[in-house]
Structure 1
């Protein structure tokens, strides 16, 4: 042992020299052409939608940033409150009135934009009668429909997240909404637009739930949150991204904390006589697609999904094959996707994973956040 120690302590005959890693050392290669549509220097956006006439709307959930208005429209290079400043404030006397914290905005090809209010700022328990959908007529910027989610579909843990519309079913159409709970069961909420009646479907089944084996890794670091005991566990968010097929017959969905894509027939979702057991058995696991926040579908049968672990946007072809359209280190957490009338796919890159809760209390987000787009030469899936 003394001999070994003596040998280890001897100076090297030839010192090992090194230099800083050269800038031209081979590195991860980006591909695909990203364009920046708007840079955000204030609150962090999550959602975007592009109307059939090219108007762009965004939303800012009240998660802790200073959010003067929770829905905005990009006009002449600036974001202005939409439809006005007054509606963007909570009405403490009537939670169903003003906007509390909007998570998603979707233009419906019917001349309206819909605003999805979680009524759960900071992911708190949703305020009673506060979670709602508002439809705004784009011709006059006035609210023309208000749908409050009934108590029968709302749990204390419910966080309504994303939505898709189909005007081929029901007197005024149907809307499908994901419950992306952080601490309870995920689900798909199906609402009849004419009556406001709603059903909570696939609640707590594996397809709408956090994958217990899933550990997200973003920018080389596991994405974890601290519990009440201080122990850190992987981020767990239930059903989140959603897309509706061009014919309206298939709903695609995914938990945020999963890499799998699932689908189910919309006719079964809408049919109250179909039991939860029958419905769960009809869900198809379409395999891995990467971990996604937002999804979208086009008129030709393709499905698009962000891949936040790989700074990428991916496309599922009608035959089920996946291809990566763009990979770029600047694509930091691709969020909501929207196909515009110009053949571009629009999406938010908001650095969600760099928030203080994921980075030991340090806010590591670097402004600006970006609204980006990518040319895909495709039209949005029709809603009627």
Structure 2
């Protein structure tokens, strides 16, 4: 039988965990090697929205009670978590969209929660005003820098599908939060971008046969090792941008002028998650090409993995073991993109590949 030339795949991956239940989105590895994942409520049977991988099992984290929505105390219960981030100094940060099935965020439910990894208890909860978390807001991912301010700052992407995208800046000392680059081109979907995954155009395809373009605002986010530069990208775009974190925090710069502080890095491929290592390299998925890119500090981009198993690389994390961890969840095969037919095939995967680099530090 004649064998014709085929596409070349490369990059050495190994599976860390296989998910046979709900679809995961977020992953983070703590400084001690503990692995946490999250499951937003997008229609799957989500029994707990935050979990720790313990051996070959998933354990609700910090406990099952916190993962059960308490209508009388929504600030202390997880509603629908999109992202989890270990900060390298003993805290797991949980970003709760409070927007199951992409609904309007439940008032008072959208929050950033700090969990003490030594005691496995909630130590701080930051909720947001209605001028920060809008009815259209979808809190997506978060990065930290504890070298500025009295308690550090957090930077959160709003990846709205129908409203303005933005970077939400949070002063962790007092919880004061404000929107930056609100509706700017750099945080907005690219109106000319037509995503193509597994050879097919990706768009919203409803049960009734109606269709609409797939549009999501700022999503991927990464911070430089010195905390001075924030990288970000809209989900439906192939472009990479960055901005000085000092400019983001400086409210004397009007938001309409902040766009002049944005740096354009070029086309890196369409990405969901991003992460930075201690050398300042940015890692970004390319969900159109089943690939992972590495962007060097000098702007040179290279593909470090291209593998048919990378079916929608979602969130990245770098562990103390110098591995790059990535959630692969077939997001593009969800029913909402295929006239109500769910094309996902279990298991979803947590994969890792050796990069011989440590994660970017968040503190001195």
Q: Report the TM-score range of the alignment, normalised by the length of the smaller protein.
A: over 0.9
CA–CA distance in 2 between the matches of 1:96 and 1:150? 13
CA–CA distance in 2 between the matches of 1:365 and 1:324? 26
Deviation at 1:231, TM superposition (A): 3.8
TM-score (norm 1): 0.93
Structure 2 residue 235 is the aligned partner of structure 1 residue 256: yes
CA–CA distance in 2 between the matches of 1:343 and 1:186? 32
Structure 1 stretches of 5 or more lacking a match?
Answer: 1-21
Q: How many pairs align?
A: 363
Matches within 5 A, 1:305-324: 305-324=284-303
Q: What is the SS of the residue equivalent to 1:360? A: coil
- Aligned partner of 1:360 in structure 2 is 339
Deviation at 1:359, TM superposition (A): 1.5
Matches within 5 A, 1:285-304: 285-304=264-283
Deviation at 1:282, TM superposition (A): 1.0
Structure 2 residue 188 is the aligned partner of structure 1 residue 209: yes
- Aligned partner of 1:27 in structure 2 is 6
- Aligned partner of 1:265 in structure 2 is 244
Kept in 1: contact 2:206–2:338 (CA 8 A)? no
CA–CA distance in 1 between the matches of 2:148 and 2:207? 45
CA–CA distance in 1 between the matches of 2:281 and 2:212? 34
TM-score (norm 2): 0.98
Kept in 2: contact 1:150–1:197 (CA 8 A)? no
Instruction: State which structure, 1 or 2, has the greater radius of gyration over its C-alpha atoms.
Output: 1
Deviation at 1:31, TM superposition (A): 0.4
- Aligned partner of 2:129 in structure 1 is 150
CA–CA distance in 1 between the matches of 2:221 and 2:205? 28
Deviation track 1:171-224 (CA, whole Å, cap 9, x = no partner) reads 111000000001111000000111000010001010000100001000001110
CA–CA distance in 2 between the matches of 1:154 and 1:226? 28
CA–CA distance in 2 between the matches of 1:227 and 1:194? 44
CA–CA distance in 1 between the matches of 2:73 and 2:358? 39
- Aligned partner of 2:57 in structure 1 is 78
Deviation at 1:227, TM superposition (A): 6.9
Structure 2 residue 43 is the aligned partner of structure 1 residue 64: yes
Q: What is the SS of the residue equivalent to 2:260? A: helix
- Within the candidate set 40, 63, 86, 1:107 is matched to 86
Q: What is the SS of the residue equivalent to 1:96? A: helix
CA–CA distance in 2 between the matches of 1:151 and 1:202? 17
Q: What is the SS of the residue equivalent to 1:57? A: strand
- Aligned partner of 1:169 in structure 2 is 148
Kept in 2: contact 1:95–1:128 (CA 8 A)? no
Kept in 2: contact 1:248–1:266 (CA 8 A)? yes
